[in-house]
Chains A and B, each alone.
Chain A
Amino acid sequence: MFRTLAEVFRHGLKNRSFVIGGTISLLFFLIAFLSYFWTPYPVEDINIAEKLLKPSAKYLLGTDHFGRDILSMLIQGARNSVIVAFVAIGIGIGCGVPLGLMAAAKKGWLDELIMRFNDLTFAFPSLISAIMITAILGPGSVNSIIAIGIFNVPVFARVARGAALSIWKREFILAARSAGKGLFKISIEHILPNIASMLIVQATIQFALGILAEAGLSYLGLGTQPPMPSWGKMLNEAQTFMHFAPQLAIYPGVAIALTVMGLNLFGDGLRDVLDPKLRRRR
């Protein structure tokens, strides 16, 4: 039931979540891309004389405790979030989905082995992995990517396996088997399309969680390191000045929340467009 991209897009335009979420997400990616070419001020510019300024025509969102332009830091922070979340999701889907499909198709000892391996990976939440990596290597943004990526693998494997198991019980799979199709072919041709919408929903949640986790790690000082700005780090620094510059604690949080919400809405819309069963229900 795959459609061409143009068809998905045409159907998507009729879906409110797809349009709103897609617009926010696109904006977020454009801003992240923009940071490679332009920010209002260089983010490394420290200007103590102009520290903690309120928003003005010169500094649209004001300045932080080093006198750095908040807007520029937010723009640069977007790039950081995209890279970390994207690579981490890639690791999760690339390794997790094939594992989950294989476990559901083969069952038996292979299923057991994959699922126990998953439980094991799963026992090291991204924060714990990041803590371990930091304890021996010191903090850095590669930590975040590895830690969040590793944690995504069992999530996708579990979701793929769980959803695939229920599809394997359906009559049309039995028909496919009796027609002589192999496990691999059934997994790719029948199981995957039927669980795709679930994987998309999970991917949006994981992308959102990736951005949130990166922000959390940076907030704790385990992720992105200065002078590279990150939204989490900005919130950490803002906490010290919450009593007399509360606006500093607002902007990065709004940026995170808006981005994550945009991505989630987009995922929801995309699911509605891709899943004909769901569309009929509406």
Chain B
Amino acid sequence: MRIFLAKRVFTLVLTLLVATLVVFVVLEILPGDPAAVMLGINAETDTLNALREELGLNRPVWVRYTHWVGDLITGNLGISYTYDVPVSELILDRITVSFPLALLAMTLSTLIAIPLGVMAASNHNKPMDFLVMSFSQIGIAIPNFWFAMLLTLLFSVTLRLLPAGGFAGWDAGIVPVLKSFLLPTIALALPQAAILARVTRSALLEVLQEDFIRTARAKGVTNQGILWKHALRNALIPVVTIMGLQFSFLLAGTIIIENVFYLPGIGRLIFQAISQRDLIVVKNLVILLSAAVIMINFMVDLLYAFIDPRLKGGGDV
């Protein structure tokens, strides 16, 4: 187990490093002159030179890269060009909106999807299965931002029960916060749940065909016992894989949904930064979001070993 862990941690660090390299190359090297990108084509030479000096663009590339990585490790993300405040401050402020939203959506989606998937698989080819699969088909097909618009149309425009957007702020108390989170969470969670329910169902159906399930049946284990104790654990590998995959969709979803509901989270910040050509903010946000996905994948890898000890050796049995 220790070797398995050491190997995974090593590759995690390596992946994170290469990711910083990719972001650095795409956002600092490919544009040629980041200062020109930030100031636009009509910028004066003096202003350009001043910004180049300020951003340290006159230093050799590898010095800029190592400095940036060093700063990332120490949490010094530089000063936003447009807001003139530390980028880390901006991010810390916005993450109090994005993180709870993503967490709520992931929880809600799992709570809906796993029971639905189990129900569908245990009632294979019966009306319940058909119902769950129909929900799944519709859920997968609906774009989350359109679903969000429909929810707003119903609950905000027509019934006037919930706000159409905006964020009351954590100081306003938990009720207004939950009210502003409710529609975005549902809009994010339901399409995810639709996919996850489908995967859970098909993984379970696959496992239920296996010999060991027949053996368990022959030994007199009840249907429920087989389903929850024997089948579900073995079906969890594809389910956890998809949940890991879904995290990045959730991340993307959060960025879109924040824009639909005008929530002041990371997603809004990144879009404001793009329209203001604030490459410093864009660069640091992109690497942080990518690092989040890498970390989640790392945790999924560890989870595999926990769910299926046979995989500890790296997949060879």
- Chain A residues close to B by CB (< 8 Å): 107, 111-112, 116, 119-120, 122-128, 131-136, 155, 158, 162, 165, 169, 201, 205, 208-209, 212-213, 215-216, 219-220, 232, 235, 238-239, 242-243, 246, 249, 252-253, 256-261, 264-265, 281-282
Contacts and interface: CB of A to CB of B under 8 A. Distances in A.
Contact of A126 (B22, B153, B252): B252
Given A107-B315, A132-B286, A253 B146 contact: yes
B148 to A, nearest CB: 10
A162 B241 contact: yes
A170 B81 CA distance: 58
Interface stretch (B89-97, B99-107, B253-261): B253-261
A237 to B, nearest CB: 12
A126 B14 CA distance: 22
B286 A253 contact: no
Q: How large is the interface on B (under 10, 10 to 19, 20 to 34, 35 or more residues)?
A: 35 or more
B157 A242 contact: yes
Contacts of B314: 112
A260 B248 contact: no
A112 B143 contact: no
Contact of A120 (B19, B245, B270): B19
A256 to B, nearest CB: 6
B152 interface: yes
A205 B136 CA distance: 12
A205 B195 contact: yes
Contacts of A232: 143
Given A124-B293, A126-B252, 7 more contacts: A119-B15, A120-B18, A122-B293, A213-B252, A219-B143, A220-B256, A220-B271
Contact of A281 (B195, B209, B238): B209
Interface in B170-217: 195, 202, 205, 209
B9 interface: no
A232 B37 CA distance: 27
Contacts of A155: 245
Given A162-B238, A216-B252, A282-B125, A134 B297 contact: no
A201 B136 CA distance: 14
A124 B22 contact: yes
Contacts of B289: 125, 128
A208 B194 CA distance: 13
Given A119-B297, A123-B291, A257 B274 contact: no
A123 B297 contact: yes
Given A249-B149, A256-B141, A111 B256 contact: no
Most buried by A among B141, B144, B245, B277: B141
A216 B143 contact: yes
Given A116-B14, A122-B248, A125-B249, A253 B297 contact: no
Interface stretch (B23-31, B49-57, B70-78, B113-121): B23-31
A219 B141 contact: no
Interface string B10-49: 0100110011001100110011000001000000000000
Contacts of B243: none
Contact of A125 (B27, B152, B252, B274): B252
A162 to B, nearest CB: 7
9 contacts: A128-B251, A128-B286, A128-B290, A216-B252, A219-B256, A235-B149, A253-B143, A260-B140, A281-B205
